[in-house]
Amino acid sequence: MHIPDGMLSAGVCAAGYGLTLLATGYSIKKINQSREPARDIPKASLLTAAFFVASLVHIPVPPASVHPLLNGLLGAILGYYAFPAILVALFLQAVMFGHGGITTLGINAVIMGFPAMVCSIIYRRFKNSEQSSISHSVLSFVTGSMGTALSVILFVLILINFIPANINAEAEKIAIYTGAAAHIPLVIIEGILTAFVLNYIRKVKPELLDTNF
């Protein structure tokens, strides 16, 4: 779900970079206020690498397979590091695999990063250590599916609205609905997967969820 180079006008790309600059600036300000940024940077970077690798895992959805976005999960675990982590991962994906692009890096960071920030706030606001397993699973499902759902909405709206052409309004509406509907299974899969992963981490390594990045 990355927009490649050349699809959007220079103005939209510049606006994407502007929003990314604001979000990165805000995240870095918060990171600098933490007690030990030098200790947290390697931790956040290794987790970014782990997320990068984990997003390449193909989840079977017979007869095909999908690879997860994991931006909701990333937001829940990395907190203020989520946006910089997504920016770094998108840059590396653009350079290494050609997913996304360099001129569209800002707009792709907005599509993936803003939902991760929202998920981070929601998960950290409602999570507590005495929570039952069921309510934690529900919270995790909502976090995971919301991350993907918001990204899909942003992706489809940006792509359809800013493709520079005289596209028929009716066709544009159909494309938006079709694009969004096609991603509904992915939204559900992400929710289920995030719930499984967060429950697993809660049992095996709860301090990973309590780390105050």
- Binding to other proteins (CB under 8 A) within 115-144 occurs at none
Q: Which stretch binds other proteins (CB under 8 A): 9-17, 116-124, 127-135, 146-154?
A: 9-17
72 lines the binding site for other proteins (CB under 8 A): no
Helix, strand, or coil (residue 36): coil
Considering all CA atoms of the chain, what is the largest pairwise distance in Å, rounded to the nearest integer? Answer: 55
According to CB under 8 A, which residues from 140 to 199 bind other proteins? 159, 163-168, 171-172, 175, 189, 192-193, 196-197
Q: Which stretch binds other proteins (CB under 8 A): 45-53, 111-119, 123-131, 145-153?
A: 45-53
- In the list 23, 48, 106, 112, the residue contacting other proteins (rule: CB under 8 A) is 48
- Comparing CB distances to other proteins, the nearer of 37 and 126 is 37
- In the list 23, 71, 72, 77, the residue contacting other proteins (rule: CB under 8 A) is 77
Alpha-carbon distances, residue 111 vs 1, 65, 147 (angstroms): 9, 22, 10
According to CB under 8 A, which residues from 88 to 117 bind other proteins? 88-89, 91-92, 94-99, 101-103
CA distance 113 to 85: 9
51 lines the binding site for other proteins (CB under 8 A): yes
- In eight-state DSSP terms, residue 66 is E
Angle made by CA atoms 205, 208, 213, in degrees to the nearest 5:
170
208 lines the binding site for other proteins (CB under 8 A): yes
According to CB under 8 A, which residues from 16 to 35 bind other proteins? 24, 28, 31
CA distance 70 to 134: 21
- In the list 18, 39, 128, 133, the residue contacting other proteins (rule: CB under 8 A) is 39
Helix, strand, or coil (residue 60): strand
- Lookup: tokens for 87: 């920016």
Which of 160, 90, 150, 88 is CA-nearest to residue 120? Answer: 150
